[in-house]
Structure 1
Amino acid sequence: MKKFKLFCLAIFSFSYALYAQNGNYGMGARSAALGGASLTLGDEWSLYNNIGGLAAARDKAIFTSIKNKYGLTEFTSLAFGGIYPIWGGTAGLGVFRFGDELFNEQRLNLGFSNQFGIVSLGLNIGYYQLNVEGAGSRKTLLIDFGGRAKLTEQLYFGAHVSNLNQARLSKTTDERIPTIMKTGLSYRPGNDLMINLEVEKDIDQDAVFKIGLEYYVIDQVVLRTGFHTQPFESSFGIGFTPGKINIDYAYNNNPDLGGIHELSLVYRFKD
């Protein structure tokens, strides 16, 4: 069984190298624990998950996250970023890397989000580089656009399009990074409970459905769970908020390939 799993992982890695990342560069253990249902969140990780929500993060902050898939070092993602309130909104700069020396992806994000009444809108420009040993590297620019709206005190709406410009990796083969559209709702009946529902659609793939639940046990401790389809993965996590620091952990379970662990840290420079 172990050999079969490794064989599947090898095939997955080969396909990954051929077709590049799946177009989803979302990071942050909070999002992962919610099954990826994070469009309506307004935190530092909006820089990676929905740039439209970044305007709600009003403290200067730095943050980092590490994610490992299936216990293989080759399938490790790292992210680091910082945000700064400026020009009436919030700007962010982030760096993402996936892979090892044989195959890796890197992305530099520069984003800005601003609030307009009940709606916040944001734009993210990413410089993307794909490196495959023996095949050279490819570079391109990615543009993401997103929005978040507070419809009522309990109901939020979010939408996001990644790779809006349908960036191309190869003019010869017309190979492109996937364009992904997401939309979702968040119901928050109180300060201690949040329920998120989302739909994600790659223009060339079946729709993915996501659901996430977050519950504050006490002021500084929060529990999370969720799942998403295509493929089906369940998730859970926990978060701690001692003062200026946020520490979040998430575990996602893929029934065929194994577990995905992610640990995130945020430090806010509060006055």
Structure 2
Amino acid sequence: MRSIIVTRLAAAMLLFGAFHPAQAQVKPTPTDTTKKYANPGSVSAPVKATFFKSKLFKAVAIPAVLITYGAITAQGDAGVNRDARMFVQKQFRPVSTGFDNTLIIAPYFELAAVALAGVESRDDRVNTLLIIAKGEAIMLASTFAVKQLRGEPRPNESDNLSFPSGHTAQAFLAASIVHTEFRDKSQWYGIGAYTIATSVAALRMVNDKHWQSDVVAGAGFGILSAHLAYLSHRNRWGRKSIGRDIGMSPTYFGNGTPGMSLSWRPSK
């Protein structure tokens, strides 16, 4: 009887083992800690943008093309300059030079008018004025230096400061700032400003003050100056009310010289 019981217990144990096999103990693989401090936050490395997609390339590409074209075609009364001058003289008569002297800052009048109308610009008014000042400094320094180094005679032979056109550079600098400040609101602000700037370039040729190469290069210098002013600017005042309490309006001084007046109302 005892042998039967022992035999049954042994059979039961064998069956239990068949249905519940013992699991083999696998030793865990040790973790590699040799590079644990290489990237503590497990943050993926930023992908560096290619040069052709960088802000610098986008800022200088178009101005560089305009300046390069102007420099290559700056041959005085020859080539495309001669053809363009002959065409302009046949189609148009000279106008008062005082008109294009005033029109060069007309885009700034547009900037002031739109701001006074309550349209919010990209930057507050303090920073916009700082960008204008910086752009003007870059444009005046670069165009004056190139004029002195180049010594290109004007079409009317009044002096040797033809290349590049300072009037055109001034107009396109102002137009570029207007476009940058309000392009998020409407592209028409920029279109209007660039139309004015193009009219200045045309008038400089109509009045026989500049060659075609001068005005094309001048447009490049103006646009480049604006882009460099924005790239190098750091907005330190944000969009606080102090900037919005500064007003700009066009003004004519006693001798008929156009300009801009500033007004400031302290905020509470």
Common fold by TM > 0.5: no
From the CA coordinates, give the structure whose radius of gyration is larger: 2
Judging by fraction of residues, say which structure has more strand: 1
Judging by fraction of residues, say which structure has more helix: 2
- Structure number with greater CO (CA < 8 Å, separation at least 6) is 2
With the length of structure 1 as denominator, give the TM-score of the two structures. 0.24
